[in-house]
Amino acid sequence: MRRSACILTFTMILFSANFLVSCRGVSILQSDVNSPIVPSGDPGDADDVTVPDGIITVRGTGFGTKLTPAPIRFETFAGAVDGQNPAEASGGWWTVDDRPAERPAISTSVARVPGRPVLDMSNFPAAPFSEASNSMVFFRDGVGWLATNKIYVNYWLYTDLGHSPLNDNIDTQVKLSKFASQCFVDGGTLGLSLPYRSISMWEFSNPGTSYFGVGTYSTGTQTLGPATFTSSPSARPTLKGAGWHNIQVELDQGTLDMPNGREKLWLVGPGYDKYGLRDSGLKQVVGSSPTWSLNMVVVGASTVFHVGNDGVKRRYKALRGFTSATPPDLDPSNWKEVAVNDNYDCLEFWTWSQKRASNVWSETHTGGYKVGAKVDYSGKAYQCIADVSSSSPPDGDSDHWSKIHDYPWPSSTVTTYLDSIYIDHSFARVELSDHADYSLAAHREIQVPVFWSDMEVRFQLNKGSFPPGTYYVHVVDESGTPHSAGVVSF
């Protein structure tokens, strides 16, 4: 039986007024009737307005076009079973490493959104002294970004860096995600085809210098070019506390070798009063692979183009550094054929962490050591129990040193979870936020468009971790410009 319709419409008038209407528990409030974008429910069909996750329609002008209304993927792992890896939980959409120890797993004991599981990407110490961790890896080749050469990724990351048993003088790096031309499993282990772009978190012993790092690995050489996330005062330091962080990336790959690409990176988390934004401005994002030539000096992992005897142009990745005297198509021991396009079309989530102590014991330490000082020596942590200027190592000087931890140091684990991974080849999107001004929001939740035209956008309501309340709708067009579009209450 067809349910009775609930018609949601608005009339433009020229004086300040507020109108609140509701249908099946979802309310849309027009708080600025002079706004050029007028929100409304979908008139004439109550089936399009449901609870708890209904379809909401925004009408106006200037929304522009979007290649496909829906995103490439909105991964919530809803319905996944505890312990499943991403490939199992996604029906095979994601790929995992051949090594089981490198595979993250679904956890139903933690939730950002009530009743919805998360993906456990936590890293555990794998070696003494540097506390380098194991890796957790999953990826998607052939994402679909080549359709526009635009990348939009939005995800929630929980991270707790923990504390070393030494002291606070610890530098911590957490690698998060990579955009690459290709990911693949090579001989049972994960590999990447250049070029690729890496996003990492760094927390230095001086917290004021912590930041998000964006490193670019080029096609001809593997040179890291960091770009520090420092554009917004609210982003210093980047890591203000353990908890959930929302990360959003807009990356326009532009034209190969041309300075017409651009990257915007947003971050918010505990201690932030609004999203921090890093905007690279116009720049070259992706470079093109060189053409193979006889006796060229090859850097390991470099990529080259080569036209074989069959006349087909292919791209190859070097498996090691060497001087190449044989064409790549005739030298499989040194080259592996990879995707022919240099542009990014792979998304890899690869968490790996490393803690580096800046207080390794030294026999020449200025002024010796005072009671209470903690040092790292031979993979163990020692605490000074009596002032000492002796050059004797801590493990042979029990009068002055007490061993407080053997490896592994349990608190060096970096706890990491992922939730709500939204992937698209368009910057056009809809978001709910806690502020009428998009740039001043401290919490935004991505929505899922189901219809898009220049005059109308429909989206599936995603409440995310918002508690019941009234929230602002922002329609972002293809240029990345946000437009206020009214509010929604639930």
- Looking at the DSSP assignment, which residues form a beta bridge with residue 74? 422
Residue 199 DSSP label: E
Residue 445's alpha-carbon distances to 71, 119, 429, in angstroms, are 14, 18, 11
Specify whether 306 is located in the same domain as 270. no
Q: Cα separation of 372 and 352, whole Å? A: 31
Phi, psi of 87 (to 5 degrees): -65, -45
Residue 211 confidence (pLDDT) above 80: no
- With cut-offs at 50, 70 and 90, classify the pLDDT of residue 160: confident
Domain assignment of residue 436, yes or no:
no
Specify whether 238 is located in the same domain as 107. yes
Q: Cα separation of 182 and 338, whole Å? A: 7
Overall average pLDDT of the 74-91 stretch? 94
- With cut-offs at 50, 70 and 90, classify the pLDDT of residue 52: very low
Domain assignment of residue 479, yes or no:
yes
pLDDT of residue 221: 62
Residue 364's alpha-carbon distances to 16, 36, 168, 435, in angstroms, are 74, 70, 21, 55
More confident residue, 484 or 34: 484
Overall average pLDDT of the 6-18 stretch? 24
Q: What is the mean pLDDT of the chain?
A: 79
pLDDT digits (tens, 9 = 90+) for 112-148: 999 899 999 987 765 544 555 678 899 999 999 999 9
Residue 162 confidence (pLDDT) above 60: yes
| CATH number of the domain encompassing residue 144 | 2.60.120
pLDDT of residue 292: 97
More confident residue, 239 or 408: 239
pLDDT digits (tens, 9 = 90+) for 439-451: 999 999 999 999 9
Q: Cα separation of 295 and 242, whole Å? A: 52
Q: Cα separation of 332 and 467, whole Å? A: 57
User: What residue has token string 């079309």?
Assistant: 345
Q: Cα separation of 62 and 90, whole Å? A: 35
More confident residue, 211 or 419: 419
Q: Cα separation of 119 and 77, whole Å? A: 8
H or E stretch including 87?
helix 86-89
Specify whether 100 is located in the same domain as 241. yes
- With cut-offs at 50, 70 and 90, classify the pLDDT of residue 199: confident
pLDDT digits (tens, 9 = 90+) for 58-79: 888 889 999 999 999 999 998 8
Q: Which residues contact 481 (CB under 8 A, 6 or more apart)?
A: none
Phi, psi of 144 (to 5 degrees): 120, 5
Specify whether 209 is located in the same domain as 328. no
Domain assignment of residue 277, yes or no:
yes
CA angle, 175 then 180 then 181, to 5°: 170
Specify whether 86 is located in the same domain as 44. no
pLDDT of residue 279: 85
Specify whether 230 is located in the same domain as 119. yes
Domain assignment of residue 202, yes or no:
yes
- With cut-offs at 50, 70 and 90, classify the pLDDT of residue 236: low
Specify whether 218 is located in the same domain as 271. yes
Q: Which residues contact 225 (CB under 8 A, 6 or more apart)?
A: 215, 216, 218
pLDDT of residue 204: 61
Q: Cα separation of 59 and 459, whole Å? A: 12
pLDDT of residue 88: 96
pLDDT of residue 276: 85
CA angle, 85 then 91 then 94, to 5°: 60
- With cut-offs at 50, 70 and 90, classify the pLDDT of residue 475: very high
pLDDT of residue 351: 82
Domain assignment of residue 1, yes or no:
no
Residue 28 confidence (pLDDT) above 50: no
**What three-state secondary structure class fits 226?**
coil
Do 249 and 151 contact (CB within 8 A), yes or no?
A: yes
Domain assignment of residue 404, yes or no:
yes
Residue 455 confidence (pLDDT) above 80: yes
pLDDT digits (tens, 9 = 90+) for 312-363: 999 999 998 999 999 999 999 999 999 999 999 999 998 877 666 556 788 8
Domain assignment of residue 252, yes or no:
yes
pLDDT of residue 341: 94
Considering the chain, what percentage of its residues have pLDDT values greater than 90? Answer: 46
Specify whether 50 is located in the same domain as 106. no
Residue 17 confidence (pLDDT) above 80: no
pLDDT digits (tens, 9 = 90+) for 377-429: 877 778 899 999 877 899 999 999 998 876 555 456 778 999 999 999 999 99
Tokens for 173, please give them: 């790096």
Domain assignment of residue 392, yes or no:
yes
pLDDT of residue 123: 77
Specify whether 90 is located in the same domain as 231. yes
Overall average pLDDT of the 13-21 stretch? 23
Q: Which residues contact 338 (CB under 8 A, 6 or more apart)?
A: 181, 182, 184, 193, 303, 315, 316, 317
Specify whether 105 is located in the same domain as 251. yes
Q: Cα separation of 360 and 362, whole Å? A: 6
Q: Cα separation of 237 and 469, whole Å? A: 30
Residue 163 confidence (pLDDT) above 70: no
**Nearest Cα to Cα of residue 128 among 407, 428, 420:** 407
pLDDT of residue 449: 96
- Give the range among 14-18, 22-26, 178-182, 398-402 with minimum mean pLDDT: 14-18
Do 54 and 32 contact (CB within 8 A), yes or no?
A: no
Residue 86 confidence (pLDDT) above 80: yes
Considering the chain, what percentage of its residues have pLDDT values greater than 70? Answer: 74
- Per the structure, the complete domain to which residue 365 belongs is given by 358-408
Specify whether 32 is located in the same domain as 77. no
The burial of 287, by beta-carbon neighbours within 10 Å (0-12 exposed, 13-18 middle, 19 or more buried), is given as middle
Q: Cα separation of 148 and 67, whole Å? A: 9
- Model's pTM, two decimal places? 0.81
Specify whether 89 is located in the same domain as 205. yes
- How many domains, the chain? 4
User: What residue has token string 């990724």?
Assistant: 153
Instruction: Tell me the range of 32-41, 92-101, 387-396, 453-462 where mean pLDDT is highest.
Output: 453-462
More confident residue, 5 or 260: 260
